[in-house]
Structure formats: C-alpha cells, structure tokens
Amino acid sequence: MTAEKSAGFPMSQVYELGKVTVFYIPSHKLDDPRYYHGTQTARMATHEFLMHRYRAYTQSPTPVKGYWVDLNGQLVHDVMERFEVSFGSETEFERLIEFLIELCDRLTEDAIYVTRGERSFLVQRKPG
C-alpha cells in the first residue's frame, strides 16, 4: 500500500492546479463608473479574464487593508479585495501580469501587489 492510500486519500482523486497566485485590487475601484471600459467594470473585466484563461478563481470581498508608502513618500492605505488563481505555466503567469499592468493603467493605480508561491511582486503601470 502506498503512503498516499494509507493516509486516506488516493492520489487518483487529487488534481494539481499549480502554484497559487494572489493579487489585491482596491475595493472601491472595482465597480466605480469612472473605471469602466465601455460598459464593463473592472470587476467584470477581472472575472471575465480569470474565467476565460484559468476557468476558476477565488475572490474574497472581506475587507483586507493594505498599507504602503506612495511615490511621494506618503503613507497610504486602502481596503482591498483578494483574488486567487492557480496555474502551473510561467507563460500563464506572464499573461496575468500583462492583464494586471492594463488594470493598473485603467484604475490609475501605481502598482498591484501580487504573490506567486513564496515570492511577491509589485506590478506597476506603464510609465507616462
């Protein structure tokens, strides 16, 4: 008997999704009409992108408060919503980063905080 079966779960019932990737978006910008693209909210665009690319994601609307120092050296804080998606391909990670750069531009955010596995990143909007 294998260790997996003796532990109570056969590995044939477990499907690995890949590394967990998490990012945070300011709650108040997700549905704000100032950040619509046509008739699509940032929340709708994020949902559509994640479902189309990865076929699943988790979104936590619970208030997560983020703190950081902005480009002017000022302490800033905001209530964020947490999005989590899993995939194994680094190509897919690059595609998510491209989407988040576009989202930064759209939301006029300096950066979006992202974690992938044990690493963390700031995805910044395009200069200019």
111 class by beta-carbon count within 10 Å (0-12 exposed, 13-18 middle, 19+ buried):
middle
As a dihedral over the C-alpha atoms of residue 40, residue 109, residue 32, residue 74, rounded to 10 degrees, the angle is 180
**Whether pLDDT at 2 is above 50:** no
**Whether pLDDT at 5 is above 70:** no
Within 10 A of 12 (CB to CB), how many other CB atoms are there? Answer: 8
**pTM here?**
0.84
| Percentage, residues of the chain above pLDDT 90 | 64
- Topology annotation, domain 17-124: Alpha-Beta Plaits (3.30.70)
71 class by beta-carbon count within 10 Å (0-12 exposed, 13-18 middle, 19+ buried):
exposed
For residue range 10-57, list pLDDT tens digits in order: 778 887 788 999 999 999 999 999 988 888 999 999 999 999 999 999
Q: Which residues of 33-48 are buried (b: 16+ CB within 10 A; e: fewer)?
A: eebeeeeebbbebbbe
Q: Give domain limits for the chain.
A: 17-124
pLDDT band at 9 (very low <50, low <70, confident <90, very high): low
**Whether pLDDT at 1 is above 60:** no
At residue 99, the pLDDT reads: 97
Residue 23, CA distances (Å) to 26, 32, 81, 113, 119 in order: 10, 19, 8, 6, 12
Quote the tokens at residue 106.
């759209």
